Amino acid sequence: MKTVKKYWKPVLVVSAFFIGNRVFNHINAWLGISIIMLTVAFIVYNIIKKKVENEKKD
């Protein structure tokens, strides 16, 4: 169970990029772009969240 908790975010990010790319190429370009941009926003949010948590510990 620890492995699932540790790796669910990277797996989600990688799969969202692939899904966004497939949607962009085959269904609707704007929907694919929005999926990819939401994924990037999720990554940035998590990076900022970890930095703030690390600063609070120090």
Query: How would you class 20 by CB atoms within 10 Å of its CB: exposed for 0-12, middle for 13-18, buried for 19 or more?
Result: buried
Q: What is the pLDDT of residue 54?
A: 86
Q: What is the pLDDT of residue 1?
A: 73
Distance CA 32, CA 1 (A): 32
- pLDDT tens-place string over residues 1-48: 777 778 888 899 999 999 999 999 999 999 999 999 999 999 999 999
Q: What is the pLDDT of residue 39?
A: 95
Tokens 């704007």 belong to residue: 30
57 has pLDDT over 90: no
